Amino acid sequence: MLLAIDVGNTYTSIGVYRDDVLEGNWRISTTGERTSDEIGMFLLSVLRHAGIGPGEIKAVIMCSVVPPATHPIINAVKKYFELDPILVGPGIKTGINIKYENPREVGADKIVNAVGALRLYGGPVIIVDFGTATTFCAVSRKGDYLGGIICPGIRISAEALFEKASMLPRIEIAKPKHIIGRTTVSSMQSGIFYGFVGQVDYIVRLMKSEMAMEGIKVIATGGMAGLIASESREIDEVNAFLTLEGLKAIYEMNSNT
């Protein structure tokens, strides 16, 4: 079985694959404060709850955009599973040709998403990831990572309204019944929800125009993907496990080398 770990800025996603089947998945908050023992015991606990013994894990692959949280996880895997995890980064085969001026600036999660999208949907593809930031990535049919866009995420935008405007409350992010709000809360919900729907659709249309390619698919992932996709005219499909699927694909590319 393969253990896949995606360390994001806000949450860490964990998945276990038996061949091509995702048998279990979990999500915890990302922090650099946990010790390797705390992480190891957590992993053993959730695997045990799923009926999976530590000896069944034969390989571990991970990507991370949070360096302080990376090494405790690596040490936990070494101590509790007696395995050396594959960390996605320079020297790892991905099949992606990065066209950034400085390829090292591209987050590992973006490359992993690109691999997963190409494996599952083919190219050309635009990936919209609703995480701490909302990111857009353009990938050609041949696997060229053409570049992307980084915007403030939905949750941090809503939090900024609450923190910087003394009269505005903290709100639940949801689709309001009407575009024109009749309360402060519904007005804020309308602004956040429809504002991001409009942002996504407009940016995607501009990306498609600049890419000038036929048959571009738009795949959304991340915590708010389903909510925004419910109103978006440009998002073709939502895949909550795109990053985990990408990690599995990269493991398969590198396990035979």
Q: Using N-to-C axis directions, what is the helix angle for 36-49 and 67-81, rounded to 10°? A: 60
Render pLDDT for 69-98 as a digit per residue (tens, 0 to 9): 999 999 999 999 999 999 999 889 999 999
Cα–Cα separations (whole angstroms), residue 121 to 82, 87, 88, 189? 35, 24, 21, 32
Q: 178 is written with which tokens?
A: 């009407």
To the query of whether residue 109 is one of the catalytic residues in this protein, the response is yes
Average of per-residue pLDDT values in the chain: 94
Residue extents of the structural domains in the chain: 2-87, 97-247
In CATH, what class is 2-87? alpha beta
Homologous superfamily of domain range 97-247: ATPase, nucleotide binding domain (3.30.420.40)
Q: Residues 107-129, buried b or exposed e (16+ Cβ, 10 A)?
A: bbbbbbbbbbbbbbbebbbbbbb
Residue 257, pLDDT above cutoff 60: no
Contact between 69 and 31 (Cβ < 8 Å)? yes
Render pLDDT for 99-133 as a digit per residue (tens, 0 to 9): 988 988 899 999 999 999 999 999 999 999 999 99
Q: Residues 19-56, buried b or exposed e (16+ Cβ, 10 A)?
A: eeeebbbbeeebeeebebeebbebbbeebeeeebeeee
For position 202, what pLDDT does the model report? 98
Catalytic-role residue among 19, 20, 37, 109: 109
Question: Quick one: average pLDDT of 238-252?
Answer: 97
For position 90, what pLDDT does the model report? 86
Q: 166: pLDDT confidence band, cut at 50, 70 and 90?
A: confident
Question: Quick one: average pLDDT of 197-216?
Answer: 97
Contact between 250 and 93 (Cβ < 8 Å)? yes
Render pLDDT for 16-55 as a digit per residue (tens, 0 to 9): 999 999 999 999 999 888 999 999 999 999 999 999 999 9
Say if pTM beats, i.e. exceeds, 0.85.
yes
Q: 64 is written with which tokens?
A: 């991370």
Topology agreement, domain 2-87 and domain 97-247:
yes
